[in-house]
Structure 1
Amino acid sequence: MKMSPQEFLDWQSKRITLLAMSGAGKTTLANKLPKANWFHYSGDYRIGTKYLKEPILDNLKRQAMTVPFLRELLLTDSIYIGSKITVENLAPVSSFLGKLGSPELGGLPLQEFKRRQKLHHQAEIAAMNDVPEFIHKAEDIYGYRHFINDAGGSVCELDCPDVLETLAAHTVIVYIRIPKSLEQTIIERAKSDPKPLYYREAFLDAKLDEFMKMRHYSSPDEIPPDDFVTWIFPELFKSRIPRYEAIAERYGYTIDADQVAQIKTESDFLGLVAEAMAQQQ
């Protein structure tokens, strides 16, 4: 959705989608907006509680069935297993995605890893396509004036133009760009605490082949999972930047993460978005 700075500031029911790499401050920014006025829609939360809910629970049960004590209780319906997903705690989603590599070290075989990646891809598309419905619900049922869509870091990887068209038709898309000065900080943070991630299949295949040749592995099952995640993150980071930039250029606006870090109030945020609109004009 394109508009002039004044049109945006005068807009009575603001609807915004935040796009950014993990670590750029999307969720922190969304949490700074007054909760009484802004409905906070988390794409990752929707994925975990709606579209991957059953696969996540199946994964937990599969792990529990390997423990004889828990197996007996599950088979007799004596215990219930659930996941407690919140906007701040998305660990069950990450645990389901898992890491590619040696099963003996907690990794997933390539076929199973790709199956879960595909499920996440489908779930993220569905969660983003739900945005218009939740904009309506937020206002009609709960009475919120404004709507913020905290989109997942992998939205730029979906290769689904319809999703972007839907988001652009119903929201102002704001891309939070990570300045060069912060790139290495985010990369080092990810290396120190490697987390499961979504990869486009073509990207995964190319980088896995490169990694295995470089480290002389003959099978993905030999790879230490954390080693691969740590190695591939900087490659993923670099590959996503032009994708985000292309989305922002066509559909939305760009603000910098260091500017976002200085935001303290709702007015600060709206002024920054209006400034980005003015610069693009």
Structure 2
Amino acid sequence: MPTVPREPRLVQIAHLAKGGRWRVEAMRAHSEPCLLWFSRGQGRITLAGVTRGYGPNNAIFIPPGVMHGFEISNQTHGQALFFGRDSDIVLPPAAHHLRIREAIAQGEIGSILEAIQRENESTRPAADRALRSHLGLLSVWLERQIASNASEAIRPSAARRLVTRYAVLVEREYRAGTPVADIARELGVTPTHLSRACRDACGKSALELMQERRLYEARRLLRDTPVPIKEIAQLLGYRSAGYFSRAFQAGTGSTPIAFRRAT
């Protein structure tokens, strides 16, 4: 995963797609905790291999290393809070998709995020302590909303639990070029059964999820780093630079060289 800042920061969700919608829509994972707050717009988000719809007043907490991607449009508005590397704020250990229906709770998160942004940009004395206090309030808000949404939580089916386990292994193995069949064997199922479960959970096969994760990382390395293409192929477990180029073009419609030159 890329190196991430230690400090928390608040970013407009629309800004996350700067440089290409693939930055939010393709499967990827962060090295730090993240909270998405959608205030307007709707679409679909895939979280740990399972796709659900999102709409206004949805809060999605994503722990480090959890694979995800979401649709974005011109009508999508909201904020993404990245907690920073090695954050010691108490946060949930698992991913959560929360639909916030109460106006009071909606107002609370709006006010907390405004305060976080204000203190993050402040040069006043003790701004760092104030920022930490507001982050602590946000963690309390999250804990309370998770508790209040518990009665609405639907126990995932065995197939969806399988896909979530697969998503964890994709994040572990995507750089190694590990065949999907080997991962299916580790999960104790056949590749066919695994792909059927993936299609049911998110509309993509097991292989498509793996390829999308690898191609996201390839695009990130091509656009954000000077790493040579041959080395990128090696880092992502491709047999050769030529094989990587063909796979990249098949998946993105562009060669690695053309994609890098277009930046």
Is this a same-fold pair by TM over 0.5?
A: no
Q: TM-score, normalised by structure 1?
A: 0.22
| TM-score between the two structures when normalised by the length of structure 2 | 0.23
1 or 2, which has the higher helix percentage? 1
Q: Larger relative CO (CA 8 A, sep 6+): 1 or 2?
A: 1
More strand, by proportion: 2
